[in-house]
Amino acid sequence: MRSVDSLPAKLWNSLIWLVIGFFLLNLFGLISAVGVNSFATRWLGTWFPAGYTTRWYFSAWDEFQLWDVLLVTMEVVLAVVVLSLLLGVPAAYALARREFSGKKLLTLLFVLPLLVPPITYGIPLATVLYQVHLAGTMTGVILANLVPTVPFVILVMTPFIEQIDPRLESAARVFGANTFKVFAYVLVPLLAPGMLAAGLLVLVRTVAMFELTFLTAGPSSQTLVVALYYSVFAAGVRAGQSVDAMAMIYMATTLIWLFIALRFVDPTQLVTRVKKTS
């Protein structure tokens, strides 16, 4: 298979590594540009800033009321994770364990919100939420963010539940456990690793979910990413370094959770699982 070592093959190989390297270099460049700028005293027309300071972090913290924004972000994310697991895991269990009429239709129903991009359904959804006076509140933001995350939990958890031996539950039933007891004492411990992985991925997605929060949030229910958007949008009013300091705080929040999540899931596996179900 890998015996081809002719000159064109070698050139092709190096070309591809060059492309990968170029992509990663630019990615690294854009992330570190934000990082360097957030510590810069003055950075105009040179390779590197004239001096370094940490004061932009303090000014960003005060200017953008980041403490409040972080608190809102944590509340929204926590509520979304817990509620999407509560709604999604039982549904995934039913889909994994039972064959019933209408199952295909239900699967389609759960795949659709993941295929349609948030901004397309976000606008009608925001309109409905405004009608019932939920838009601009925390409840509205949480409800909107649950729309893609509940199906996501179902799609991740269904194959996970399928691989758990159903005889374990049957055995518990033989010894007189009711549905609730089977769920609490047999299933939840077995499901814990899958729920942890799904929950962490929902968490990362929700921290980074811009469109739905942007369309439904009011001034007091902005999450970090929406606050970042508004600060970039109104750039010029404030120092660019201050905006970049906020971007760094946002990046840190997302990346910490991403690396925790990656300890529990293999990114390629996840894509394959989602692909198979859709």
Partner 1 sequence: MTSQTALSGSAADRPNLRRRLAAAGWDRITLLVLPAAAFVVLLFIYPFAYGLVLSFQPAAGGLFANYAKFFSDPYLYDTIGTTMWLGLPATLINMALALPIAFQVRHFRWQRILTTILVIPITLGTVLVAEGLLTYLGPQGWLNRTLIELGVIGSPVRLIHNYWGVFLSLVITGFPFVFLLTLSYVTGIDPALPQAAATLGAGPASRFRHIFLPLLVPGLAVAFCLAFVQAFSVFPSAVLLGAPAGPTRVISIAAYQAAFEQYDHSMASAIAMIMGAVQLVVVVAVLGARTLFYRGPMGSGKG
Please report, as residue ranges, which positions from 259 to 278 form the binding site for partner 1 (by CB under 8 A): 262, 266-268, 271-272, 275, 278
Q: What distances in angstroms separate CA 263 from CA 41, 177, 201, 204, 257, one per listed residue?
A: 37, 34, 11, 13, 10
Smallest separation, CB 65 to partner 1 (Å): 18
* Interactions with partner 1, residue window 177-206 (CB under 8 A): 179, 204
Residue 235 DSSP code: B
Please state the length of the chain: 278
Smallest separation, CB 258 to partner 1 (Å): 5
CA atoms within 13 A on the CB side of 95: 25
Smallest separation, CB 59 to partner 1 (Å): 17
Judged by CB under 8 A, which of 202, 217, 225, 245 binds partner 1? Answer: 225
* Interactions with partner 1, residue window 29-68 (CB under 8 A): 29-31, 33-34, 37, 44-45, 47
Q: What distances in angstroms separate CA 13 from CA 19, 198, 215, one per listed residue?
A: 10, 37, 45
The reply to whether 220 sits near partner 1 by the rule CB under 8 A is: no
The reply to whether 99 sits near partner 1 by the rule CB under 8 A is: yes
Stretch that binds partner 1, among 55-63, 66-74, 191-199, 245-253 (CB under 8 A): 245-253
Report residue 131 CA to chain centroid gap: 28
* Interactions with partner 1, residue window 138-157 (CB under 8 A): 143-144, 146-147, 150-151, 154
Residue 221's SS3 state is helix
Stretch that binds partner 1, among 62-70, 73-81, 92-100, 186-194 (CB under 8 A): 92-100
Please name the residue ranges forming H helices in the chain: 7-38, 55-63, 66-97, 103-115, 118-131, 138-162, 166-174, 179-181, 188-208, 211-216, 224-233, 240-262, 267-277
The reply to whether 20 sits near partner 1 by the rule CB under 8 A is: yes
Q: 6 or 163: whose CB is closer to partner 1?
A: 6
